[in-house]
Amino acid sequence: MAFNNLDTLYRQVIMDHYKNPRNKGALDEGSLTINMNNPTCGDRIQLTLKVEDGNVSDAKFDGEGCSISMSSASMMTQAIKGKSLEEAIKLSSIFSDMMLGKEYDEDIDLGDIEALQGVAKFPARIKCATLAWKAMEKGIREDEQ
């Protein structure tokens, strides 16, 4: 597939998650709730995670922001559901490496998340893409204490 077609496909995936977010909303009491914002551009997110037996059994987000931050939150909640906390943190590390243009294990199927790899070309937007992921990491760290 030509680079232009791939770029167009990635943009379509990002816009689909922005216009039709997956896992939008909040979970009930007893869930981890993490609030984060990106003061640089005004993105804000509230992430709620339900952790049972060391696994993320459910994840939802709410907030406001650009298409990249909201799409990334949608993709992230899909990706971590059913994963162990360790797997979720590893996926976050892989995503962070991808955002920084570093080598990452390409054998791992990132699904829709791969559509965000082009963000690495725009340093000012990396914080937008990583906001939900940082919130997830913070929530897991706080839950482990």
**Domains of the chain by range and CATH?**
3-144 (3.90.1010.10)
Which residues sit opposite 110 in a β-bridge? none
Long-range contacts of 113-116, Cβ-Cβ distance < 8 Å, separation of 24 or more: 113/72, 113/75, 113/76, 113/79, 114/10, 115/9, 115/10, 115/11, 115/13, 115/14, 115/71, 115/75, 116/10, 116/14, 116/68, 116/71, 116/72, 116/75
CB 110 within 8 A of CB 104: no
Q: What is the pLDDT of residue 125?
A: 93
Q: What is the pLDDT of residue 112?
A: 94
Q: What is the pLDDT of residue 107?
A: 82
Q: What is the pLDDT of residue 1?
A: 45
Residue ranges, the chain, pLDDT below 50: 1
